[in-house]
């Protein structure tokens, strides 16, 4: 039905398309739509659309006067504003309409407003006079704000001129644009804008949360727009400071069109840093400009580049290609494969370090894709080298291959791309074979240390080991030294444990005797726990080789602790090694001396009749108190019918019998064994302290021995002692 507004809207759209398709004359088509727009039976929104079609067609004809076009433009927006009054979804409707007529005259391809048209628009703005109601006035401001929020600044400025109305947000945006283009000085801004600048206390406001106020500015800046601002004035650092501070303040205060203000601030900063004009910034390819920013010497170029990408809405895929190509180019320059075409004749540009190359990844949200593009270059280089079998390859080409792999690995690691890391490690293995064939051992070390996945790349260490260049890895100051030296020890312990010469090479090279000794000690202690379980299960024959391995590890640990001056730890490892050796000796008797509790140690001492072996066990478990030997002496010596002279003599060589003989005598006196008292007589003959002897004689009632002692040469001494007591 013709009364259906949506149906009519579709009808006018089809008419417009058919007229264009049949090459209808622009004047005829424009007149047709203008006549239809004057039909009072149509809605305000429909009339706005018809005026838009009319304006489009008339704009195709250069003979149509500007006043005619401006009249239609004003009518279009007038009816559009009236149609928006009171509707709930104003923002969506305005945005859709603004996009729909973005091809109309006075709109530039870049979306930048041409201030030269202002005078002609202003002159013709009184052709049709309109008065807004209060609601329409509010809708007008909502329209301006919405257009600014969606970057339709040209439309917003033109509408404001056509209707001779202003908006504080539009004033802020317009001022930012004119300041950045050099068409306006800070002193010449409107009174409203001056009030805003005066009320903003912050002197340096970032254009985004990324960029801070510490941006370094150059004092030698080329004219931003020498046609409108004196050249000498544009070289004035104070002028640059004033404009920059004003732009930062206005950007902070902008509630609508904030992105436009941020972009103008960014363009001004880039123009100042690169000594380019505003027009040069806008006319250049954005990626060429981004490359110039990254090659500039100021500190905040990375933050500025990130902001540049965000504000100019550069496509992710294009940014990925740019970052990957930049990295590859920088690596090629660093390796000497290509020269820097941007090198200044006055001052050579400092090439970015490897860390600078990696920081490029922060410019894109898809670092894994960057890594994949670099990996594709690795495949290409490897394929070419493989075809040539690495013959007559220049050193710079080998380094290029390695640095590409390292860079690709960084990309995959930052993006946590496990599949990408796996692909890179496979490529690294293939490349390591090429490097080994080309005798590029230093580059093999570089590949290993910079990728840093040592366990996954043990094959690189094995290659160097087999080619007798293991020493390339064993030096202080090497990249990733902390993790490398631990990886080398793990490698040797896993694959070449008997190669003490290369072990020594690692320890001397890194000065890490103690670290290696601690690792050997830890491994030995872990193995002792496993052996202990087998011993308790009765599997004595199966553990001999394991015990010998443990003994060797502890002996090495003791030796390395000693070389590092850790004598206490060295002695402890040596004691444990001897204990393990004792365990091997005691295996036929099924006795266990490993992993004992204190109570189990004491029980062992009470039952083992070899003092030297018992003493080793006691010392290893830290039982140094002489009193622990009272019970073993009682059980092994006193209670036997034949005195164990060998045990007693060995004890007397290592321990002081005098300190415990009194306690031993008490046990003998309380004992019901006849052997205990008789054996005590023999034991006392080994005690040298006559005072202790005399005391024990009296306690045990050995009167004959007491009398004999008093009559001996020690008698006078004992009587003197009794006199002074």
370-392 pLDDT per residue, tens? 889 999 999 999 888 877 765 56
- SS3 for 452? coil
Domain ranges of the chain: 5-117+129-165, 238-339+350-463, 513-595, 626-724
Give the pLDDT confidence of 111-167 residue by residue, as tens digits: 454 545 555 555 555 556 677 888 888 888 888 888 888 888 888 888 888 888 888
Q: Is the per-residue pLDDT at 101 higher than 80? A: no
> Which residues, including other chains, have CB under 8 Å from residue 300's CB and lie 6 or more apart?
211, 212, 214, 215, 216
**Measured between alpha carbons, how far is residue 110 from residues 154, 271, 284, 307, 357 in Å?**
10, 18, 12, 19, 32
Round to whole Å and give the CA distance between 172 and 247: 9
pTM for the model stands at 0.62
CA–CA gap between residue 190 and residue 195 (Å, rounded)? 9
Confidence tier at 236 by pLDDT (50, 70, 90):
low
**Alpha-carbon distance 451 to 371, whole Å?**
13
How many Cβ atoms from other residues are within 10 Å of residue 21's Cβ?
Answer: 8
* Local confidence band at 350 (pLDDT 50, 70, 90 cut-offs): very low
Nearest 10 degrees: Cα torsion 169, 171, 177, 181: -160
Instruction: Give the pLDDT mean for 507-534.
Output: 87
Report whether 246 contacts 197 (CB < 8 A): yes
Reported as a single tens digit per residue, the pLDDT across 20-55 is: 999 899 999 999 999 999 988 888 888 988 998 999
pLDDT at position 14 = 93
Q: With CA atoms as reference, report the closest residue to 598 among 622, 577, 631.
A: 622
């Amino acid at each position: 039905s013709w009364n259906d507004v949506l149906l009519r809207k579709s009808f006018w759209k089809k008419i417009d398309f058919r007229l264009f398709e049949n090459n209808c004359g622009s004047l005829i088509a424009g007149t047709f739509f203008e006549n239809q727009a004057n039909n009072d039976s149509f809605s305000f929104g429909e009339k706005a659309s018809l005026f838009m079609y009319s304006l489009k067609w008339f704009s195709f004809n250069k003979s149509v006067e500007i006043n005619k076009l401006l009249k239609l433009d004003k009518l279009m927006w007038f009816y559009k504003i009236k149609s928006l009054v009171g509707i709930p979804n104003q923002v969506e409707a305005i945005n859709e309409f603004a996009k729909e007529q973005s091809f109309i005259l006075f709109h530039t391809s870049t979306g930048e407003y041409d201030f030269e048209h202002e005078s002609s628009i202003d002159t013709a703005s009184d052709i049709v006079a309109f008065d807004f109601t209060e609601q329409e006035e509010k809708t007008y401001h909502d329209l301006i704000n919405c257009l600014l929020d969606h970057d339709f600044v040209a439309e917003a400025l033109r509408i404001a001129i056509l209707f001779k109305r202003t908006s504080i947000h539009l004033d802020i945006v317009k001022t930012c644009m004119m300041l950045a283009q050099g068409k306006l000085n800070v002193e010449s801004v409107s009174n409203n804008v001056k009030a805003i600048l005066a009320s903003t206390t912050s002197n340096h406001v970032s254009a985004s949360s990324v960029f801070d106020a510490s941006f370094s500015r150059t004092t030698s800046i080329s004219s931003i727009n020498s046609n409108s601002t004196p050249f000498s004035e544009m070289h004035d650092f104070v002028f640059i400071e004033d404009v920059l501070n004003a732009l930062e303040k206005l950007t902070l205060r902008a509630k609508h069109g904030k992105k436009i203000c941020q972009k103008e601030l960014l363009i001004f900063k880039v123009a100042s840093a690169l000594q380019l004009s505003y027009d040069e910034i806008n006319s250049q390819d954005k990626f060429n400009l981004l490359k110039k920013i990254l090659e500039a010497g100021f500190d905040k170029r990375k933050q500025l580049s990130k902001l540049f990408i965000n504000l100019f809405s550069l496509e992710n895929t294009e940014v990925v290609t740019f970052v990957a190509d930049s990295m590859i180019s920088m690596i090629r320059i660093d390796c000497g494969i290509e020269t820097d075409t941007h090198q200044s004749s006055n001052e050579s540009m400092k090439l970015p370090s490897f860390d600078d190359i990696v920081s490029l990844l922060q410019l894109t949200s898809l670092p894994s894709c960057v890594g994949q593009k670099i990996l594709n270059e690795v495949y290409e280089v490897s394929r070419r080298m493989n075809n040539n079998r690495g013959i007559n390859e220049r050193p710079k080409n080998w380094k290029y291959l390695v640095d590409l792999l390292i860079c690709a690995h960084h990309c995959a690691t930052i993006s946590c791309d496990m599949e990408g890391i796996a692909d890179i490690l496979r490529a690294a293995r293939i490349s390591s074979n090429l490097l080994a064939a080309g005798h590029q051992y230093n580059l093999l070390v570089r590949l290993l240390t910079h990728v840093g996945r040592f366990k996954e790349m043990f094959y690189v260490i094995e290659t160097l080991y087999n080619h007798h260049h293991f020493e390339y890895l064993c030096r202080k100051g090497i990249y990733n030294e902390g993790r490398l030296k631990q990886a080398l020890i793990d490698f040797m312990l896993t694959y070449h444990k008997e190669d003490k010469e290369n072990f020594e090479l690692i320890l001397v090279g890194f000065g890490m005797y103690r670290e290696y000794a601690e690792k050997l000690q830890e491994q030995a202690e872990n193995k002792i726990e496993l052996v202990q379980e087998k011993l308790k299960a009765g599997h004595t024959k199966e553990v001999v080789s394991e015990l010998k391995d443990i003994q060797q590890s502890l002996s090495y640990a003791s030796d390395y602790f000693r070389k590092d001056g850790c004598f206490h730890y060295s002695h402890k490892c040596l004691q444990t090694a001897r204990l393990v050796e004792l365990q091997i000796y005691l295996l036929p008797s099924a006795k266990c001396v490993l992993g004992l509790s204190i109570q189990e140690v004491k029980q062992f001492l009470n039952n083992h009749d070899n003092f030297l072996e018992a003493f080793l066990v006691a010392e290893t478990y830290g039982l140094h108190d002489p009193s622990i030997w009272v019970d073993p002496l009682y059980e092994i010596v006193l209670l036997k019918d034949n005195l164990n002279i060998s045990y007693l003599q060995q004890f007397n060589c290592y321990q002081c019998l005098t300190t415990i003989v009194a306690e031993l005598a008490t046990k003998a006196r309380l004992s019901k064994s006849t052997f205990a008292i008789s054996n005590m007589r023999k034991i006392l003959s080994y005690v040298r302290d006559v005072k202790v002897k005399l005391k024990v004689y009296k306690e045990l009632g050995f009167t004959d021995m007491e009398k004999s002692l008093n009559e001996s040469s020690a008698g006078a001494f004992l009587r003197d002692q009794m006199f002074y007591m």
